[in-house]
């Protein structure tokens, strides 16, 4: 299998590098609009620790909404079940920054992976008025899990989003009006923009996600990150809500828990088997990496990996 996997990863990266249709780079955050759509990177880490990398595997990119997985880890650790009073666990069937559903449902966001859900989670882990506390917790966790102490926030991306993030501000203030947020709205938003602006490579990300394939334990250090039950729940949310209004389509065509970000990254896990990160900045209309999704589809089909196929 290892030999096969090396070939599959290499061939997938070559195919994606040459793909003529590459999606559209996010332009609503001006700093992200500067990215070339030519990039493609991929890293697969198997349960035995072997790493298979291809393309721009070591180039850092803005993780954006992939940070929502790690914010959830922090909130689970500090707030346990109480977290679910603030945020639901249902797919939204809508865009990541949609406002209409939030109003119809009394300010409680559907799930932790759409923007209002993630802002509510960040509010929980942002201590008082200090935005550095919330985003700092996520950054520390990512450094520790990836083993890369050099991971940092891209200040230009955070500033760029803060300067233009009026929809997120509207979502946050609306939730504050409904008492779904308890902290200072400006501090929570700043923490949220900074966590989204964390820059990591596919290799860092695939390493940071290893606990998701391993019942909540980081296989590199043996350290428990979340309980086995919490790891299953995070994977369930990634499968059902990780790609917004394309989550059903992603489960249908790839069949793996995964979380996307508008920087073009996707973190996926194959429970018991592998942790995978892909990156290509061109997005689908729903805001998910077009070639990243296609690469995962190709990988899942070539390996047989799927949560619906426990024998592979
Ligand atoms: N920071 C981005 C935003 O709030 C994250 C969205 C995403 O990656 N889908 O719009």
Q: How far apart are CA 256 and CA 219, in angstroms?
A: 20
Pairing of strands 41-46, 51-55: antiparallel
Taking only the tens place, the pLDDT of each residue in 235-268 is: 999 999 999 999 999 999 999 999 999 999 999 9
68-81: average pLDDT: 96
Question: Are residues 172 and 73 both part of a single domain?
Answer: yes
Question: Are residues 164 and 15 both part of a single domain?
Answer: no
Question: Are residues 51 and 96 both part of a single domain?
Answer: no
Question: Are residues 246 and 98 both part of a single domain?
Answer: no
Question: Are residues 215 and 276 both part of a single domain?
Answer: yes
Last residue of a domain, one of 198, 215, 233: 198
169: CA distance to ligand 1 center in Å?
Answer: 12
Last residue of a domain, one of 143, 176, 198: 198
The protein residue whose alpha carbon is closest to atom 3 in ligand 1 is 115
Q: What CATH number does residue 151 fall under? A: 3.40.710.10
Question: Are residues 150 and 264 both part of a single domain?
Answer: no
Last residue of a domain, one of 174, 198, 222: 198
Instruction: Please indicate, yes or no, if residue 170 is contained in any of the structural domains.
Output: yes
Question: Are residues 194 and 208 both part of a single domain?
Answer: no
Q: 196 with 64: CB under 8 angstroms?
A: yes
Question: Are residues 33 and 134 both part of a single domain?
Answer: no
Query: Please, which pLDDT band fits residue 311 given cuts at 50, 70 and 90?
Result: confident
Helix (H) or strand (E) holding 146: helix 131-146
Taking only the tens place, the pLDDT of each residue in 190-246 is: 999 999 999 999 999 999 999 999 999 999 999 999 999 999 999 999 999 999 999
pLDDT for residue 1 is more than 90: no
Read off φ and ψ for residue 52, nearest 5 degrees: -120, 120
Per-residue model confidence (pLDDT) at position 131: 76
Per-residue model confidence (pLDDT) at position 3: 60
Tally of domains in the chain = 2
Q: Which residues line ligand 1 (CB under 6 A)?
A: 64-65, 96-97, 115, 161, 168, 196, 261-262, 287
Question: Are residues 124 and 35 both part of a single domain?
Answer: no
110: CA distance to ligand 1 center in Å?
Answer: 16
Torsion of CA 153, 43, 225, 1, to 10 degrees: 180
8-29: average pLDDT: 97
pLDDT for residue 8 is more than 90: yes
Strand boundaries in the chain, DSSP class E = 24-25, 41-46, 51-55, 61-62, 152-153, 198-200, 258-260, 265-270, 274-279, 282-283
Name the pTM for this structure.
0.97
Whether 244 is catalytic is: yes
pLDDT for residue 312 is more than 90: no
Instruction: Please indicate, yes or no, if residue 309 is contained in any of the structural domains.
Output: no
Per-residue model confidence (pLDDT) at position 217: 98
Per-residue model confidence (pLDDT) at position 190: 95
Whether 192 is catalytic is: yes
Query: What is the extent of the structural domain holding 165?
Result: 65-198
Q: 257 with 235: CB under 8 angstroms?
A: yes
pLDDT for residue 39 is more than 90: yes
């Amino acid at each position: 299998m290892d030999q096969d996997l090396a070939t599959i990863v290499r061939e997938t990266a070559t195919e994606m590098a040459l793909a003529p249709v590459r999606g559209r780079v996010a332009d609503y955050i001006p700093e992200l609009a500067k990215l070339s759509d030519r990039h493609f990177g991929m890293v697969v880490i198997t349960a035995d620790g072997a790493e298979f990398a291809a393309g721009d595997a070591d180039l850092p990119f803005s993780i954006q909404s992939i940070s929502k997985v790690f914010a959830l880890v922090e909130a689970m650790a500090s707030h346990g079940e109480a977290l679910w009073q603030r945020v639901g666990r249902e797919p939204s069937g809508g865009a990541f920054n949609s406002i209409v559903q939030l109003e119809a449902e009394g300010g409680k966001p559907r799930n932790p992976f759409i923007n209002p859900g993630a802002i509510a989670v960040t509010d929980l882990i942002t201590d008082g008025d200090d935005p550095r506390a919330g985003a700092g917790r996520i950054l520390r966790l990512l450094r520790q899990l990836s083993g890369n102490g050099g991971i940092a926030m891209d200040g230009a991306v955070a500033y760029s989003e803060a300067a233009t993030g009026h929809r997120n501000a509207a979502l946050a203030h609306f939730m504050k009006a409904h008492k779904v947020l308890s902290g200072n709205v400006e501090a929570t938003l700043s923490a949220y923009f900074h966590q989204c602006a964390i820059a990591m490579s596919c290799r860092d990300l695939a390493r940071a996600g290893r606990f998701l394939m391993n019942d909540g334990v980081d296989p590199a250090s043996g350290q428990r990150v979340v309980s086995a039950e919490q790891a299953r729940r995070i994977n369930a949310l990634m499968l059902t809500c990780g790609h917004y209004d394309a989550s059903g389509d992603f489960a249908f065509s790839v069949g793996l828990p995964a979380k996307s970000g508008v920087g073009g990254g996707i973190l996926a896990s194959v429970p018991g088997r592998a942790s995978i990160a892909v990156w290509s900045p061109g997005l689908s209309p729903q805001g998910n990496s077009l070639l990243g999704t296609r690469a995962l589809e190709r990988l899942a089909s070539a390996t047989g990996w799927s949560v619906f196929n426990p024998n592979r």
